[in-house]
Chains A and B, each alone.
Chain A
């Protein structure tokens, strides 16, 4: 009885062909269009967030110089061509918020979960296309509100992307804590709704809508990764929502959930008592740590797929890959307090969190070795997508190793809140996931737009970005080891940090170059949509997965006629001397077992 609903839903999309401009490009319910909407909104945010980092890198690299053009651009926030401390903090905060949530969560999961799940499991669309559309529009509303916070008189929120009270809870704490923070919370609440609607849809689609023969162990690893990502999001974002609701009450209704014994200069002692600022940190990091994996897992999944396709070899240890994704997803919920080692946490509790944190190294190492063994003696095609996938593995190793340092509560006393932390999370989560995203875009662009991206520009993009990423973040480890704190406006007044002035300038110059290369990528992206080389074969990468059995420019409903049936796992590359055997090929009688 209940399955009829599923089947009915499958067929109803086939007949919806009366699309107007509004229903096709704006309020579209086609998962592929929604994916593109997420991608392009994410790109706009990436450019804005990246540009913010250029602005504050200029301050860090050239604290004594003035840039008149900055005053033209930012007005009172850059008086005399010199960015003000308030603006600096606002930029750092918004850079973090935007990149973590809007680019690497919505832009990454939103794009690739929407695009790949129905195509790779063999479904006509998401379980609920309508909710899927709502998910994008909630994200859009969140984006608009976040953007509007740049234009309020007191500026956007400036208390760090983690929004710790009391800076986030007291309007008087800093200029950005006033209406900028109100807009920030509203925007984030809408974002939570968007991610919940998306996540529920992804899980239900993966479990319910797989085509005939597509058992769970025949799913491409991208789908497994997106599945765990959605589970993490659905279970961790609500806790952040609770934290935010309590924060709203603290801000507006005179409660003391997070506040106790506070004296504000010029205002006096506040009446709040009995609350705990640490409570917010617990609620925040209960989301915040799974969030790291919400960002990382989709990249891992796509990288697994792209490495296998372009090495012309089966992925090494398919079940181990699923198992390690599962282990990471479980551990993601059990390690949040390693962000709070120096909050006065009970040292015994700290040691428990150290153990659990270091345990993540095990599934992570399994994944890394499986990627390396997939590459090993492969027939590697160095497409730009493949290069970015290999770059992801490199960055994940480099950034993951410093995670073992930071996960140690004793070392963390020295390293917390220094540039060592900045370097660690930018490499392992920020840049690495960016690389996963780029790999995905280069690899699936032919399916998205029916065109190829320009390879030469792709190679330039890759080499400058990977070299630049290491040149920016590698030196930060040394600065952090020397105790240079993060989030500071100006280091030139400390004798001990003057030695890093040249290094800071070097980092700033490289970051501007890397930013410029991303603009080159954007040019490549938009130019290729219209003028790129046309895709002429159904399966340009000679890949096994289902998305390449659809027409070059699939319509709403993806497959013309019946959805193909699946007979095998997606990684039969080079089996029995055959280069590749798509999932839709029935198992032959003579075929060997794997």
Chain B
């Protein structure tokens, strides 16, 4: 038994085939995501460094308490961002379904789930646009911070600087993901993947999409929860 295992491992790494049994594009996507994780990591660590060397920071429950179409004075701390997060996570679920449908060569289901994923992505981006717009009208922008620290002292502009830069950078990733998914949808509708005999491209787009969702979990935690 053990000899067989050794033989297989040697073969896998012995050249002439992919050791992970994946084609190069998927491998590259994984390495790209590792690289991108370092980009976000650098952003979030910078944010942490500045935040914890600053005396006081605004309370997210106070800052993020608005909800669209709600009456003036209604405070709903973190409710809206919870909705956003829920939308993004659901879009990850539909992406998984699209990938699985691709593995089953089920074109109809791929199209349906891709469309749902795209809608989820656009909904998330719209929510973010509303939130940014709302904050802008409250006087917040790069270099401007109208909010007070939790203890009532004046707050550093780095609260808004980091908020807009990092959520903006994440939003840019979601936007790219939506574009990629639209391209995937067009290619699916044009029967490109049926002709190739596999839906590997959808899997790669899926990897990217899940990564963007995963990053949001960290961004969400760092800016809204802590």
Contact = CB atoms under 8 A, between A and B. Distances in A.
Interface in B37-65: 38-43, 46, 49-50, 53-54
B142 A253 contact: yes
B157 A238 contact: no
A257 B158 contact: yes
Interface in B12-60: 13-28, 31-32, 34-36, 38-43, 46, 49-50, 53-54
Interface of A is mostly: helix
A591 to B, nearest CB: 19
Contacts of B34: 234-235
A2 B18 CA distance: 9
Contact of B35 (A122, A205, A234): A234
Given A256-B143, A276-B50, A283-B46, A208 B27 contact: yes
B35 A235 contact: yes
Contact of B42 (A122, A239, A274): A239
B169 interface: yes
A273 B42 contact: no
Contacts of B26: 2
A99 B18 CA distance: 36
Contacts of A257: 46, 50, 158, 161-162
A189 interface: no
Interface stretch (A19-27, A76-84, A242-250, A361-369): A242-250
A203 interface: yes
A276 B45 CA distance: 13
B28 A213 contact: no
B93 to A, nearest CB: 25
A196 B32 contact: yes
Contacts of B35: 196, 200, 234-235, 237-238
Nearest to A276: B50
B157 A242 contact: no
A555 interface: no
A6 interface: yes
Given A2-B200, A274-B54, A209 B24 contact: yes
Contacts of B20: 207
A3 interface: yes
Contact of B15 (A236, A245, A254, A566): A566
A2 B32 contact: no
A331 B42 CA distance: 18
A269 interface: no
B19 A256 contact: no
Nearest to B155: A274
A106 interface: no
Interface string B105-142: 00000000000000000000000000000000000001
B207 to A, nearest CB: 14
Contact of A213 (B16, B19, B54, B162): B16
A216 interface: yes
A586 to B, nearest CB: 15
Interface in A127-148: 127-128, 131
Contacts of A205: 24
Nearest to A255: B161
Contacts of A286: 42
A238 B28 contact: no
B46 A207 contact: no
Which 5 interchain pairs have the tightest Cβ spacing? A254-B143, A212-B16, A274-B156, A214-B15, A242-B42
Given A234-B35, A255-B165, A273-B156, 5 more contacts: A2-B22, A127-B24, A208-B24, A249-B161, A256-B161
23 contacts: A1-B198, A2-B21, A127-B24, A203-B28, A204-B24, A204-B31, A208-B27, A211-B16, A215-B14, A215-B15, A216-B13, A218-B15, A238-B35, A238-B38, A246-B46, A249-B142, A255-B142, A256-B156, A273-B157, A275-B50, A279-B49, A283-B42, A565-B16
